[in-house]
Structure 1
Amino acid sequence: MSQAAQALAITLAVALFAAAVVLAKHRFFPPDPADEPREDVAEYISMMVGVLYALVLGLALVSVWETSDNASGHTQAEAGALHQTYLVADALPPEGQTKVRAIAEQYARHVVNAEWPRMAGRQDLGSEGWTMLGQLRAATRLPANATPAQQIAAQELLSQLGTLDEARRGREQDAQSSLSPVLWVGLILGGVLTVAFMFLFGIQRNVTHIVMVMGLAALITFLVLLIHELDSPFGGYLGTDTSAFTRYFPVAA
């Protein structure tokens, strides 16, 4: 089963469970007309809880969305700089051209096959990638008899390597970023509390109560699952994939 189907199944299961609880409440604890005057207080408290929970949801969504967007941007910038390094190497002397291209291809394979699984598991990437970047810089050094065109190409290569270095640092930071545990506690407890307040109302019509609770429970479950997926910027159904690198380099998994 795909992750999208799993998320849909979980959302539906939560909504059906909420509906079953509503039916049980109306069956065993029917609304008491004598409690109606107290509904104004319950409605006010429920409204305040709902507003506060909406703020927590918004904060969590913005946080994970920003991390996911940064991860995609850093990956695109890193892959683009590596590709430009590979192309500009044409202007280097034959020996330097061969070295730069070989290391660039090796770096792409390392990122796709070694670093990506580690990032999905929030593991340390190690120093091998940085060692390859150092080798790339060393390969751009020119002999004393280099032509002006080769010198210009070497400067361009250093510029691209600087961009690559910065993007790589950003990618490493994005891979270690995660939503605060405090926000996760607020999302789970706030969602449970928000749905639980729906049972304080003495709604006479069962169908109306069921629809309201099912809709609220399904929406909260969907949003929490969405936040969970976006909280893994390099893994999961919505995470950034390796296509930015494999588009330019034929990497075999």
Structure 2
Amino acid sequence: MNPVMEALLLGLCGALFAAGVVVAWHRYRPGARDGDCEEDSGDTVAEYMSMMIALLYAMLLGLALVTVWDLRAGAGSSTADEAGALHQMTVLAEGLPPEQRLRVEGLAQQYAEHVVREEWPRMNRQEDLGDTGWDMLRRMRADAAAPPDATPAQQVTALELLTQLGTLDEARRGREASAQDSLSPVLWVGLVVGAVLSVCILFFFGIGRSASQLVMAMGMVALTVFLGYLIHQLSIPFGDVAGVSTDPFTRYFSVPGAG
């Protein structure tokens, strides 16, 4: 199912379920058949508590959204830096002897294909990436070194290649760390508990007695479900829905079968 449709369906189902609970609560709870002419003495306190809980929950949602967005932004930055450094190595390799240039370009192409085909699915599942990528970097570092008979210009090119390799190494470490990062379990518990409290208090203490209030309550539930779904997707920096794509690599390197 399309992720957008999935999110909308989840929100709609949550809103309809909550509306049914509200209608049943106001219809069948004790005193409802008598018209509830007299307000409960605790209504004022309940309204104040509901406002406080809603405010605190909004702050918690904001914190969670900022956290997962920072995770995704960091993953995107590391990926762009890594792909840029790898491409720059192929550009600099033009100044090397022909055989050495072909080795560097070939390893760069193999590395890009390995990242896109092998590592991206693992990052989506938040699994360990293994040592293959690091082995390729070590081979590139060895092949990028200036040969004994290198000219001064080739020696400078080799030094620049090593600089780009350092950038690539650092960016890869950042990407690897981002793939393992996720939203704190404590924040997830707070989001779930806050959503339940907000909805329950909203529905069970006077809201929903009129059609307009019921529609507003349903809208709040749908929005809460949607935000929870959005936070979940953003908490997977390399996920299929809102994660970082392989575009930075496929922009510079042709990877057959990459989508």
TM-score range for the pair, normalised by the shorter chain length: over 0.9
Amino acid of the residue matched to residue 19 of structure 1? Answer: A
1:24 corresponds in structure 2 to: 24
- Alpha-carbon distance in 2 for matches of 1:208, 1:201: 16
Q: Is the 8 A contact 1:81 1:160 kept in 2?
A: yes
What corresponds to 1:6 in structure 2? 6
> What are the ranges of 5 or more consecutive residues in structure 1 without an aligned counterpart?
none
Say whether the 8 Å CA contact 1:42–1:200 is kept in structure 2.
Answer: no
Amino acid at match of 2:224: I
In 1, the alpha carbon distance for the partners of 2:126 and 2:153 equals 43
Residues of 2 paired with 1:128 and 1:13: CA distance? 45
What code does the residue aligned with 1:25 have? W
Q: Is 1:200 the counterpart of 2:204 in the alignment?
A: yes
Match of 2:122 in 1: 118
Q: Is the 8 A contact 1:75 1:171 kept in 2?
A: yes
Number of the residue aligned with 2:143: 139
- The answer for the alignment partner of 1:191 in structure 2 is 195
- The amino acid of 1:147's aligned partner reads T
For residue 75 of structure 1, the aligned residue among 75, 79, 87 is: 79
**How large is the Cα RMSD of the aligned pairs?**
1.4
Q: Deviations over 1:52-98 (max 9, x none)?
A: 11121111111110000111111011001000001110001112101
Q: Distance in 2 between matches of 1:41 and 1:11?
A: 29
Large movers: runs of 4+ above 6 Å: none
Match of 1:58 among 44, 57, 62: 62
User: Residues of 1 paired with 2:186 and 2:8: CA distance?
Assistant: 26
5+ long unaligned stretches in structure 2: none
Q: 1:149 to 1:224 in 2, by over 3 A?
A: same
1:203/1:80 CA distance change after superposition, 3 Å: closer
For 1:227, which of 225, 228, 231 is the aligned residue?
231
Q: Which of 87, 91, 96 in structure 1 is aligned with 2:95? A: 91
Instruction: Decide whether the 8 Å contact of 2:22 with 2:204 is kept in 1.
Output: no
1:203–1:133: structure 2 CA closer, same or farther, 3 Å change rule?
closer
Task: State the percentage of identical aligned residues.
Answer: 54
Select between 163-172 and 40-49 the one with higher mean Cα deviation: 40-49
1:248 aligns to 2:248 (yes or no): no
CA offset at residue 203 of structure 1? 4.8
Alpha-carbon separation, structure 2, partners of 1:204 and 1:165: 57
Report how many residues are paired.
253
Q: Which amino acid aligns with 1:143?
A: P
Following the alignment from structure 1 to structure 2, what is the Cα–Cα distance between the partners of residues 235 and 251? 19
Structure that is richer in helix per residue: 1
Structure 1: distance between partners of 2:128 and 2:206? 54
Deviations 1:189-228 (A, max 9, x none): 1101101001233358420231121011011111100000
Q: By how many angstroms is 1:147 displaced?
A: 1.1
Q: Distance in 2 between matches of 1:24 and 1:70?
A: 47
Cα shift at 1:36: 4.2
Q: Taking structure 1 as the reference length, what is the TM-score of the superposition?
A: 0.96
Q: Which range is displaced more, 34-43 or 89-98?
A: 34-43
More displaced 10-residue stretch of structure 1: 51-60 or 164-173: 51-60
Q: Secondary structure at the match of 1:72?
A: helix
